Chain A
């Protein structure tokens, strides 16, 4: 069945460091891929998405490229800020238009 696997956390980085959070997926067909972010005490918010192979989603300095050949959608940011501290979820919209979420990766950015 459809599923998403993302790197285990927690991740702790210093401000202005480079961020990569790995995400790989298993799905039949060509799912749409998403990154959602959850700030403390809040619900999930869409960060970025890509709907077909080689598409790059981007928002707030974050980027992720839909790689069909490696079934991956890794999240990157060149210079993280303290305000980026949150939990990040990779997700896909797959069979039956249902969403499948990864387990989440907690990011803490220290000044």
Chain B
């Protein structure tokens, strides 16, 4: 079955370190998204991509970067982790804008000490 996976599921790191969270989908979806989930804020969009080599900033992109070298993967990098980036991170994908429905991965819980 097609799916969307994230790794690692849990990560502890120290402030200042670079961290990369992986997202892989096997639906061949063009669109991929990264969100962070925090209490009192719901989900907020970090970055998104509408296809290979395309990346766009979302609402809370500062301190994060993404790259899209193939259809299946959209890794999220925290250039220099900060305690404010402690959160649960969700990756999502959708076939195209008109498809509308987003399919979410299981999430990565990140703790920055």
Task: State how many residues of chain A have any CB contact under 8 Å with chain B.
Answer: 21
Q: B residues engaging A (CB < 8 A)?
A: 4, 33, 35, 40-45, 48, 58, 90, 92, 97, 100-107
- Which 10 residue pairs are nearest across A and B when measured between Cβ atoms? A43-B104, A97-B97, A103-B42, A101-B43, A101-B42, A44-B104, A43-B106, A46-B101, A104-B42, A43-B105
Q: How far is the CB of B49 from chain A (nearest CB, A)?
A: 12
A residues at B contact (CB < 8 Å)? 4, 32, 34, 36, 41-46, 49, 51, 89, 93, 97-99, 101-104
Task: Decide if B100 touches A51 in the complex (CB within 8 Å).
Answer: yes
A62 → chain B, closest Cβ, in Å? 16
Question: Which A residues lie within 8 Å of B107 (CB)?
Answer: 42-43
Q: Do A89 and B90 touch across chains, with their CB atoms under 8 A apart?
A: no
Inter-chain contacts of A44 with B (CB < 8 A): 43, 90, 92, 102, 104
